[in-house]
Structure 1
Amino acid sequence: MTQLQMATVGQDDKARRIAVRYRASGNEAAKAPGLVWLGGYRSDMTGTKAVELDRFAELHGMSCLRFDYSGHGESGGAFIDGTISRWLEESLAVFDAFTRGPQLLVGSSMGGWIAIRMLQELRKTGQAERVSGLLLLAPAPDFTSALHEPLLTDAQKQALETQGYFEEPTPYGPEPNVYTRALFEDGASNSVLTGIIETGCPVHIIQGMEDPDVPYEHALRLVDHLPGEDVVLTLVRDGDHRLSRPQDIARMLKTVAAMTRR
């Protein structure tokens, strides 16, 4: 287990302590890209996929960065304050503080959206070469507007309007998911499914066809917004949203190995 470190992101009343576990490269001569894990909504860096990615990095002498967004896992801050912009700011700050050279961004669910937005922001600042590739697992870009808003009930819309949030049971834990009006409004300002997403790097998407949270048609829609070259979509016929079965982990790591050999 890599040592827990804390990084401060933001200033004054917006400062929050972000929990980070960073594994330095054990083989600098290999010059392989580092690995950066970007988790999903309400997930943390101790999940199966994140831990297995770190174990792969250790085995192959690669660097690996894992962290918890504010309001998640071991990080500070309130979950209800979370937005895509807030979590994106934290992701970029930790990326800048801990990583050097090219990195493979591995984003799961909401982390796929964060990965795309990170790449866009890095391209704006002339740092596109920092991202060697995107590996997106059941990616959920624009999930607020594309996946949730069309299904909102009248009661949920009323709760967003009057109290600023609503809660929804989840099969992934005892606590309900919380969705805020700020999350929906901010999500709209971070939309990526509005035109061609310029990547400048390879993209590999792994999507389960039995995913109850992110339909595989959403992955097909994402592909439509990516450049035609160097984009691979792997559909897993019996795969769910977690993609954490042994065969799913093996598929993820095989893809990581291929993308870091390029």
Structure 2
Amino acid sequence: MSPLQPIDLPPEYLDVGTGTDRRAVAYRVQSGATPSLLWLGGYASDMKGTKAARLAALAAREGWGFCRFDYSGHGESAGPFVDGTISRWCEEAESVLAATLSGPVILVGSSMGAWIALRLAAGMRARGGGPAALLLLAPAPDFTRRLVVPNLSAAQCADLAAKGYCTEPSPYGPPMIYSRALIEDGERNLVMEGLIETGCPVHIIQGMQDPDVPYSHALDLVSLLPADGVTLTLVKDGDHRLSRAEDLARMESAVRALRAEAQITLSR
């Protein structure tokens, strides 16, 4: 593919927030047919990751609309990572979606991005709309309460109290940082407290060898989703990244199926 294709161009920037809270959010958008795709990345990941790049290439080949972006404090976006919260990143996702894509959209959320996707879907439904479909990869909604806080050591709790953040070694790169603000804000954004009405088809892909988000978490999420229109794919040897060739092919197949289903629904 030519380096001049849209997926390889420098990012554009969108200002989100006001005053001292204003930050420049980097994004890349490709125009094309709807339903478009919006990529919502994971905690401490960026829009140049393997899965996001694979979807960008797929959308370019198929002529679909597609947008990916970096949350503030991530990748090419501005702002300190430690300032990030679910509310802050949801605001950025909503702003990027409004500025870049029109018409039906499929939200593709990876890990923490699935939490953002569910919050975004709820906001869209509250305004009288909703996504065309959801694809959730190794979904980690409510991860601060369910996956982080229960596993904090005494030393990490002491750091949260004294410094406002704590760290944890990561096999993917620099240590993970968890701030008190992130954890407290997470409590205001919980989605797994009752039935989750998405109003659209949902496909979840979850690795059973995921060391970060146990597949029991995906099962808990499925139990809260309406029975109709929910597909769960458990990958027996899949890890958290789901970035092997077979995982990427599985993601592409899921996107194609969700687009086809959404097009049928929208044409009625």
TM-score between both structures, scaled by the size of structure 1: 0.96
Task: Give the counterpart letter for 1:18 in structure 2.
Answer: V
Contact 1:2–1:23 (8 Å) recurs in 2 = no
Task: Give the counterpart letter for 1:48 in structure 2.
Answer: T
Give the 5 Å matches for 1:20-35: 20-25=27-32, 28=33, 32-35=34-37
What percentage of residue pairs aligned between the two structures are identical?
55
- Cα separation, 2, equivalents of 1:81 and 1:4: 22
Partner of 1:42: 44
Give the 5 Å matches for 1:169-208: 169-173=169-173, 175-208=174-207
Task: Give the counterpart letter for 1:236 in structure 2.
Answer: V
Give the 5 Å matches for 1:82-161: 82-128=84-130, 131-161=131-161
Partner SS for 1:232: strand
- Cα separation, 1, equivalents of 2:216 and 2:9: 37
State which of 62, 67, 70 in structure 2 corresponds to 1:68.
Answer: 70
Give the deviation of 1:2 after TM superposition.
3.9
After superposition, the C-alpha distances for 1:192-231 in whole angstroms (9 at most, x for unaligned) are 0100001000000000000000000000000011111100
Give the deviation of 1:163 after TM superposition.
1.1
Partner of 1:209: 208
Partner SS for 1:97: helix
Task: Give the counterpart letter for 1:254 in structure 2.
Answer: S
Give the 5 Å matches for 1:217-228: 217-228=216-227
Task: Give the counterpart letter for 1:150 in structure 2.
Answer: P
Cα-Cα RMSD: 0.8
TM-score between both structures, scaled by the size of structure 2: 0.94
Kindly report structure 1 stretches of 4+ aligned residues shifted beyond 2 Å. Answer: none
Structure 2 stretches lacking a partner, 5+ long:
1-7, 262-268
Task: Give the counterpart letter for 1:166 in structure 2.
Answer: C
Number of aligned positions between the proteins: 254
Contact 1:38–1:112 (8 Å) recurs in 2 = yes
Task: Give the counterpart letter for 1:6 in structure 2.
Answer: Y
Which stretch shifts more, 8-17 or 155-164? Answer: 155-164
Partner SS for 1:233: strand
Which stretch shifts more, 2-11 or 95-104? Answer: 2-11
- Cα separation, 2, equivalents of 1:215 and 1:23: 34
Task: Give the counterpart letter for 2:24 in structure 1.
Answer: R
